[in-house]
Amino acid sequence: MSAAESMALAGEFPQQTHEDWQRLVAAVVNKSRAEDAKLTPEDAEASLRTTLSGGLVVDPLYQRSADAAAIGVPGAMPFTRGTGLRPADQPWDVRQLHDDPDANISRAAVLDDLEHGVTSVWVHVGADGVAPGDLAAVLADVKLDMAPVVVSSWDAQGDAAAALQSVLQGSPDVHGKGNYGLDPLGAAARTGAAADLAGLAGAVESLSGIPGMRAITVDARVYRDAGASAVDEVAYAVATGVAYLRALADAGVDAPTAFGQIDFRVSATADQFLTIAALRALRRLWARVGEVCGVPEPERGARIHAVTSQRMFTRDDPWVNVLRSTLATFGACAGGADAITVLPYDTVAGLPEKFSRRLARNTQIVLADEANVGRVADPAGGSYYVEHLTADIAHGAWSAFQEIEKAGGMAAALASGSVAARIRSTRDEDGARLATRRLPITGVSMFPLTGEQPVARRQRAALAVSDKALAPQRDSVLYESLRNRAGAYAAAHGSAPGVALVALGARRDFGARETFASNLLAAGGVTATLYEGESAAADAAAAKPEVVVIASSPKGYAAHAAAAVEALRSAGIPRVLVAGRARELGETSVDGEIYDGMDVVAFLSDTLDRLGAPAEGAAQ
């Protein structure tokens, strides 16, 4: 074959259309459907679509768009693909968070991290972290010309910035690198206090001539942690950045200088594709802002610090947090994050220990050095799905950003409560998906670990906030509240609240349903005592439980349900439920049904009520 000729891959196969694919899908989807319930090819495709938080719709199939624009290259407009090529030896900045108020512990932890692969230090300062006056002691062993240092704070940003400035000034021969962490709008959102942007210009001016230092970090995690979608997190990040550009412009700081002083800190979640697309969309929108402001093209790329989202972390079965963090870290890397922080798996329990911090940093190091996931810039670029999802997030975020601008900007939107209202609406939608387990949480709502001992850690100090603050809301709290009630019951009665699970027929009849029901009950801390065999119903009835669940296949129900339910009714069992749909029992009547897709939280709450578990927070 000559160089001028091309190979027609799959050229001998007939060309397939989208309609052909739809017909194949319909044939599969309709296999288990009755003749009068079969779906058209179009409806079959629609049945496979899923909706993510923020109104994002995920299709089952993506094809090249007829009007698809060129996706560009890293380091050039629209910066979707990254701010440039990555060095092979350090594809991103491995940044570890330190917030232990004991300065000696934090100092030792900082040194341990730097000696074992971490490349920059992040210290959280304030009432819920390190005291400003202790920052110098915490950083005493850091070579400031080698390891960048960034600080953050919700309630003491000015003090944190001044403390870091003092540390840098104490080493006059060192050209420090890092960020002062000023984010007055983020602090206002997190604490409910009024935002004061007046100090931004002075901080920027104080860093004149120090190219490695920046003054501002737009920390959009505060919105995502409170319940915002990925779309809104990107929108609020851009709106906040624009607010700071305006404040600096009013103080006489030109746009290129102001642009160079802003970093972004955003969430990375276990939805790796959503994380990839969100980071790509943020860079695209921020580059557009820079273009409008007249910033030279090479300087328009957003510098992004991705942090594994605390919202996805669970208190129960916390080891699964390691897996979530690994997915999130992969998404952050593939999405082009400049710096990544992996929160330790025990973050929810309190201040992390040495081992959990080691796991956190090594998650990044293994992905970078052994899995080599950072060797390719924007590896997801060109994927029809990723490009569509990036565009959907960008369009949705830009629309939300425009609404904020029309309302007077980010400060006005926060003060008016519109941001809180939008987040509350999204949180309610997500709450419904969590409650029905359409948004599953492994180890909590799905496959819970029964009989586990909670992880004990030293607690963080509470942050003082007003009732206007956007409080963090972890997804697993819905189920953790149920487990708290079950724990209180166990403490008072010596055993966990329980129900009887009557398995009808042979194991091949009830096995799947028994496992399903047991796991569903365990998600709320309710144990299931299994009764099987010919005398299962009678044995369960003799124990006089408040609630009985029967489990079998439709065939098993047809053969055994009537007799079993009659035996339970005769024994005066208050409530009899079926694992499955009640219609599977035919003429036999029960008090309720347990099936996939139900409101699990409401069901478990009602069950705990019937078993006498106290309401959460009730006196024992």
The per-residue pLDDT for range 33-42, each reduced to its tens digit, is 889 899 999 9
Residue 229's contacts (CB-CB under 8 Å, 6 or more residues apart) are 52, 53, 54, 55, 56, 426
Quick check: 389 and 277 in contact, CB under 8 A? yes
Helix (H, G, I), strand (E, B) or coil at 571: coil
Which pTM value belongs to this model? 0.94
Return the amino acid letter for 65: S
Average pLDDT over residues 446-459: 91
User: Judging by beta carbons within 10 Å of its beta carbon (0-12, 13-18, 19+), is residue 4 exposed, middle or buried?
Assistant: exposed
DSSP string covering 260-306:
TTEEEEEEE-S-HHHHHHHHHHHHHHHHHHHHHHT--GGG-PPPEEE
Instruction: Give the per-residue pLDDT at 454.
Output: 87
**Which band of pLDDT confidence, cut at 50, 70 and 90, is reported for residue 451?**
confident
Task: Give the mean pLDDT of 438-454.
Answer: 92
**Number of helices (H) and strands (E), helices first, in the chain?**
21, 15
Amino acid at 145: D
Give 515-563 pLDDT, tens digit per residue: 999 999 999 999 999 999 999 999 999 999 999 999 999 999 999 999 9
233 pLDDT higher than 80: yes
User: What does the mean pLDDT of the chain come to?
Assistant: 94
Lowest mean pLDDT among 55-69, 193-207, 411-425: 55-69
pLDDT band at 620 (very low <50, low <70, confident <90, very high): very low
Angle at the Cα of 438 from the Cα atoms of 436 and 444, rounded to 5 degrees: 75
Q: How far apart are CA 187 and CA 393, in angstroms?
A: 25
Angle CA 451–457–458, to nearest 5 = 150
DSSP-derived secondary structure for 384-411 = HHHHHHHHHHHHHHHHHHHHHHHTT-HH
pLDDT at residue 165 above 60?
A: yes
Name the least confident of 90-99, 351-360, 448-457: 448-457
Q: Which residues contact 9 (CB under 8 A, 6 or more apart)?
A: none
In this structure, are residues 482 and 523 in contact, taking their beta carbons and an 8 Å threshold? Answer: yes
What single-letter amino acid sits at 42?
A: E
pLDDT of residue 232 exceeding 60, the answer is yes
Q: Residue 616: what pLDDT?
A: 79
- Please say if the pLDDT value at position 436 is more than 90: yes
**CA 486 to CA 611: how far, in whole Å?**
10
Give CA 316 to chain center in angstroms: 16
Would you call 567 helix, strand, or coil by DSSP? helix
**Tokens 């901080």 map to which residue?**
203
Task: State residue 2's pLDDT score.
Answer: 55
173 — pLDDT class (breaks 50, 70, 90): low
Q: What is the mean pLDDT of residues 85-95?
A: 90
